Amino acid sequence: MDMQALDFNLWEPINMMKNKKIYIFSGTSRAANYGIGTYMEQLIKALKTSHLEFNLVYLYARENEIKIREKDGYHQIDIPSPALHHINANRYYMRNVAYLLREIIQKERGIEYIFHLNFMTNPLLVRQLKKLFKCKIILVAHYTNWSFALLGDAWKLKQILGKRQKELRLPVERTIVKDFEEDIRMINRVDKVVCVANHTWKVFSKSKKIRTDKVEIINNALEDIYTPLSKIEQDLLRRKYFIDKNCKIILFAGRLDEVKGIAALIKAFKIIFSTYPDCRLVIVGDGDYNLWLKEATDYWSKITFTGRLDKNSLYELYQIAYMGVVCSLHEEFGFVAIEMMMHALPIIVTKTGGLDEIIEDNESGLKVPVNTRNDKRMVNVKILSEKINFLLEHTVIAERLGINGRKRFLEKYEISTFKRKMLNLYEANMK
């Protein structure tokens, strides 16, 4: 692309901020449609109500060339995926991203550039940005490669990292060690690290190679848009979805991936169904339906797969569901859990990752353990079915958990706290 053809007038200040410009990095992935996508929505909402000037850098865009698009109050730079199919293609891409941005973003005297990265394991990009710009770099650790590979098993990670190089016989172990070391290098090169939950930093803090003074914990958050519905309004919604007024909906929302614990949820539903035949399991999300339809054999009329829904439809289901279940084998944070809490929906979560921090057991929800057996992570189906059964049987307690969950959401996960902490971070003099 001819860089001279770009209209640099686009980069006139959108707001009146004179000494800082923020560039937030995002990208195309399934995660961007769910957790990280939700995070970006909330961050943009927070920034649009501030005096800070910001723009979005969209990596791996599904475009044929670089594009600069004007959005509502900011601009988005789309940088397409590399055409290379080389083992080092990602490294070349990240290096070139920095040089492309150097051509697109005009240097202005007195301006400090803040690059906000939403991904790990890319120390090369950090080095190149530092080389080409007078900048500060904030890294937000939404997820790590090792946590995906090991489904959040921190004990297993410790075992792998404790091995000598010649003892790493499995390719997956060598990859985990390499990625973890890349993450350490990246953390040490950036100016600030934001962890969305305490457990993320707990793992990294054990490394003696990391400076601990650059880390902040800033939980993800949501704008509170909950409006309670009357009984009549709820009944109208039930009619809309052809759900009987006596049916108790057990609701799941998320990607249809193994890590989300869907197999365990279906098995638990089969156990409780004999006692509560009027209940229905509703599974919202996209993925490999064939796998889970097979798991649901003989219960197809009582287990509904909706596919991915728009936010309005999902929130309507929250309004008429009896309980929500978030039974992931690992979850870095857990946006769905706080969505359910926002809607005063009693929830059951697994005792893992960010979910374990969001919920106070028996106060704002119920917890189910994740066990490791024969080197495999699995949700305890027996306990999950008992917890679901308990909430179905004790409606008063279920209601109390929902009320307490909403109270906890307002105290810790409503967007105002998130906004204040993020804006303070951007405006701070990072060293």
**Poorest-confidence range of 128-132, 271-275, 372-376, 385-389?**
372-376
Is the pLDDT at 213 greater than 90? The verdict is no
pLDDT at 34: 55
Buried b (16+ CB within 10 A) or exposed e, 223-260: eeebeeeeeeeeeeebeeeebeeeebbbbbbbbbbbbb
State the average pLDDT over residues 382-395: 98
**In the structure, what pLDDT confidence band is assigned to residue 336 with cuts at 50, 70 and 90?**
very high
- Per DSSP, what are the bridge partners of residue 195? 141, 217
- Average pLDDT on 167-180 reads 91
Q: What does the H/E/C string look like for the chain?
A: CCHHHCCHHHHCCCCCCCCEEEEEEEECCCHHHCHHHHHHHHHHHHHHCCCCEEEEEEEEECCCCCEEEECCCCEEEEEECCCCCCCCHHHHHHHHHHHHHHHHCCCCCCCEEEEEECCCCCHHHHHHHHHHCCEEEEEEECCCHHHHHCCCCHHHHHHHHCCCHHHCCCHHHHHHHHHHHHHHHHHHHCCEEEECCHHHHHHHCCCCCCCHHHEEECCCCECCCCCCCCHHHHHHHHHHCCCCCCCEEEEEECCECHHHCHHHHHHHHHHHHCCCCCEEEEEECCECHHHHHHHCCCCCCCEEEEECCCHHHHHHHHHHCCEEEECCCCCCCCHHHHHHHHCCCCEEEECCHHHHHHCCECCCEEEECEEEECCEEEECHHHHHHHHHHHHHCHHHHHHHHHHHHHHHHHHHEHHHHHHHHHHHHHCCCC
CB 79 within 8 A of CB 104: no
Torsion sign, CA atoms 346, 352, 357, 362: positive
Q: Tell me: the pLDDT tens digits for 292-323?
A: 999 999 999 999 999 999 999 999 999 999 99
- Write down the pLDDT at residue 430: 59
Rounded-to-integer distance, Cα 68 and Cα 416, Å: 30
**Is there a contact between 177 and 168 (Cβ–Cβ < 8 Å)?**
yes
What the block records as the tokens of 179 is 């990625």
Tens of pLDDT, residues 338-379:
999 999 999 999 999 999 999 999 999 999 999 988 888 999
pLDDT number for residue 10: 43
- Judge contact between 130 and 115, C-beta under 8 A: no
> What are 118's strand-pairing partners?
none
Give yes or no for residue 195 having a pLDDT over 80.
yes
Percent residues over pLDDT 70 in the chain: 92
Where does the pLDDT of residue 37 fall: very low under 50, low under 70, confident under 90, or very high at 90 and above?
confident
Tens digits of residue pLDDT in 120-173: 888 899 999 999 998 999 999 988 888 888 888 888 999 999 999 889 989 999
> What is the model's pLDDT at position 14?
37
pTM of the model as a whole:
0.89
Report pLDDT digits (tens) over 245-263: 999 999 999 999 989 999 9
Percent of the chain with pLDDT over 90: 70
**Phi, psi angles (nearest 5°) of residue 87:** -60, -30
Does the pLDDT of residue 81 top 70, yes or no?
Answer: yes
pLDDT, position 87: 67
Name the average pLDDT for the chain: 89
pLDDT digits (tens, 9 = 90+) for 38-66: 899 999 999 999 989 999 999 988 888 99
Measured on CA atoms in the order 315, 316, 322, 326, is the torsion positive or negative?
negative
Question: What domains, with CATH codes, occur in the chain?
Answer: 3-221+416-427 (3.40.50.2000), 231-413 (3.40.50.2000)
pLDDT over threshold 90, residue 103: yes
Residue range 259-268: average pLDDT? 96
How close are the terminal C-alpha atoms of the chain, in Å? 36
> With bands split at pLDDT 50, 70 and 90, how would you rate the model's confidence at 242?
very high
Mean pLDDT computed over 381-403: 98
Structure confidence at residue 236 as a pLDDT band (50, 70, 90): very high
> CA separation (Å) from 25 to 37, 206, 325?
12, 28, 31
Q: What is the pLDDT of residue 376?
A: 87
Residue range 325-343: mean pLDDT, rounded: 96
Q: What's the pLDDT tens digit per position in 184-193?
A: 999 999 999 9
377: closest CA among 343, 319, 340, 327?
327
Does residue 116 register a pLDDT over 70? yes
